[in-house]
Amino acid sequence: MPDIHKPAGFIGSCRRSLQGIAYSLRTEKHLRFHFFVAAVVVLASAYFRLSGVHWLFIIYAIGSVLVAELFNTALESAIDLAEPGYHPLAGLGKDVASGAVLVAAIQAVIIGIIIFGSYIF
């Protein structure tokens, strides 16, 4: 059992963060799907030779979805720890967290349509 009160240092903190992302990737199929879509979008952005400003929007959109997914996973874990049984508030907390992912995903789709639409049409 690691000593959770021991300061990890910058490298140790980064390692823990990467372990958290790796855990989320192993357990959350939606996160794996969003990473896959992000890779496709990056390849498409390179193919269409997006402008610098358009790249910024694409990176922002991808980052928003992945960050929302990671927070969603973190909240699911915390809620399962706090309420292993059934509780309406536990369900509501998970629904609000997944609602945040939905908002980020809709925003990313709109950004994608506007940017790639301007290159395709």
Ligand X SMILES: Nc1ncnc2c1ncn2[C@@H]1O[C@H](COP(=O)(O)OP(=O)(O)OP(=O)(O)O)[C@@H](O)[C@H]1O
Please check whether residue 79 is in contact with residue 90, taking contact to mean a CB–CB distance below 8 angstroms. Answer: yes
83 is catalytic: no
Catalytic residue from among 28, 69, 76, 83? 69
Nearer to ligand X, 12 or 99 (CB): 99
With CA atoms as reference, report the closest residue to 99 among 60, 69, 56, 74.
Answer: 69
Nearer to ligand X, 45 or 73 (CB): 73
Min dist. Cβ of residue 90 to ligand X (A): 4
Min dist. Cβ of residue 93 to ligand X (A): 8
Site residues (vs ligand X, CB under 6 A): 28, 30, 72, 76, 83, 86-87, 90-91, 94-95, 98
Q: How many CB atoms lie within 10 A of CB 68?
A: 22
Min dist. Cβ of residue 38 to ligand X (A): 17
**C-alpha to C-alpha distance for 120 and 8, rounded to whole angstroms:** 48
Quick one: which H or E segment has residue 19?
helix 9-27
Rg for the chain, CA atoms, rounded = 18
Nearer to ligand X, 76 or 115 (CB): 76
Residues marked as catalytic: 69
